[in-house]
Chain A
Amino acid sequence: AQSVTQPDIHITVSEGASLELRCNYSYGATPYLFWYVQSPGQGLQLLLKYFSGDTLVQGIKGFEAEFKRSQSSFNLRKPSVHWSDAAEYFCAVGAPDQTGANNLFFGTGTRLTVIP
């Protein structure tokens, strides 16, 4: 069975500083990997996704993530954080080789606080 671990419950960074949010997955094959952001009162919004190919994927709002098979990781990065990036971030995995599997498995989330 697949699972996702986000080791950091809460991260605080200064505006303008770089950001890395960690995500580790457990899955027997190459999974589909996603990062979502959830702002208060808002629905989850997809930041980026990885299916195959180039292991460095670019997303919206200046985010990128790198798939590292050897480390079973898919960490999210941003070179310079803006105050508006404060939100909850969720890593999710999908199991493409499971027949009929269309749903996502989410981690527990990392809450990002941005200080001036």
Chain B
Amino acid sequence: GAGVSQSPRYKVAKRGQDVALRCDPISGHVSLFWYQQALGQGPEFLTYFQNEAQLDKSGLPSDRFFAERPEGSVSTLKIQRTQQEDSAVYLCASSLVGGLVSEQYFGPGTRLTVT
């Protein structure tokens, strides 16, 4: 079956522009995660949804970052007024149910470059 998909795969933005990154989780997966992976680093947690509810947004680095999942399936991560330090790969993951015992399946990521 289809895995987690993300679009676009690559995005170049000028500093100050707004961007929107999309995640299509595996159908039926309740939980959805966003991670940020800077060059040479491991993924870092940004935010977590259970269905349409955003239960944890403790990892969002600033109020320029906003995520939503209005119908409990597709999610969008929006970054306003992008800055160079936002350059990273943004990974989306989904899992069947909540909790750590449910395997997280990762998408290929969106590579964001801010110039």
Least Cβ–Cβ distance between B56 and chain A, in angstroms = 6
Is A27 at the interface (CB under 8 A from chain B)?
no
Q: Which of A58-116 contact B (CB under 8 A)?
A: 90, 92, 94-96, 100-109
Option from B3, B33, B59 in Cβ contact (under 8 Å) with A43? B3
Q: State which size class the interface on B falls in.
A: 20 to 34
Residues in A neighbouring B40, C-beta threshold 8 A: 108-109
Binding-face segment, B13-21, B42-50, B67-75, B79-87: B42-50
Least Cβ–Cβ distance between B86 and chain A, in angstroms = 19
Residues in A neighbouring B44, C-beta threshold 8 A: 106
Residues in A neighbouring B104, C-beta threshold 8 A: 46, 104
Query: When the two chains form their complex, are residues B101 and A51 in contact, meaning their CB atoms are under 8 A apart?
Result: yes
Is A45 at the interface (CB under 8 A from chain B)?
yes
Residues in A neighbouring B42, C-beta threshold 8 A: 4, 90, 92, 106-109
Least Cβ–Cβ distance between A25 and chain B, in angstroms = 13
Rounded to whole angstroms, the CA-CA distance of A12 and B101 in the bound complex is 32
Q: Which of A19-54 contact B (CB under 8 A)?
A: 32, 36, 41-46, 49, 51
Residues in B neighbouring A106, C-beta threshold 8 A: 35, 42-44
Query: When the two chains form their complex, are residues A32 and B107 in contact, meaning their CB atoms are under 8 A apart?
Result: no
Rounded to whole angstroms, the CA-CA distance of A36 and B42 in the bound complex is 11
Rounded to whole angstroms, the CA-CA distance of A100 and B55 in the bound complex is 8
Q: Chain B: which residue is nearest A6 at the CB level?
A: B42
Q: Considering the complex of A and B, which 9 residue pairs feature the smallest CB-CB distances, nearest first?
A: A106-B42, A43-B106, A94-B100, A103-B45, A44-B106, A32-B100, A43-B108, A106-B43, A108-B42
A-B contacts, 19 of them at CB < 8 A, read A42-B108, A43-B106, A43-B107, A43-B108, A43-B109, A44-B93, A44-B106, A46-B103, A90-B42, A101-B100, A102-B31, A102-B55, A103-B48, A104-B100, A105-B45, A106-B43, A106-B44, A108-B40, A108-B41
Which B residues fall within an 8 A CB radius of A? 3-4, 31, 33, 35, 40-45, 48, 55-56, 59, 91, 93, 98-101, 103-109
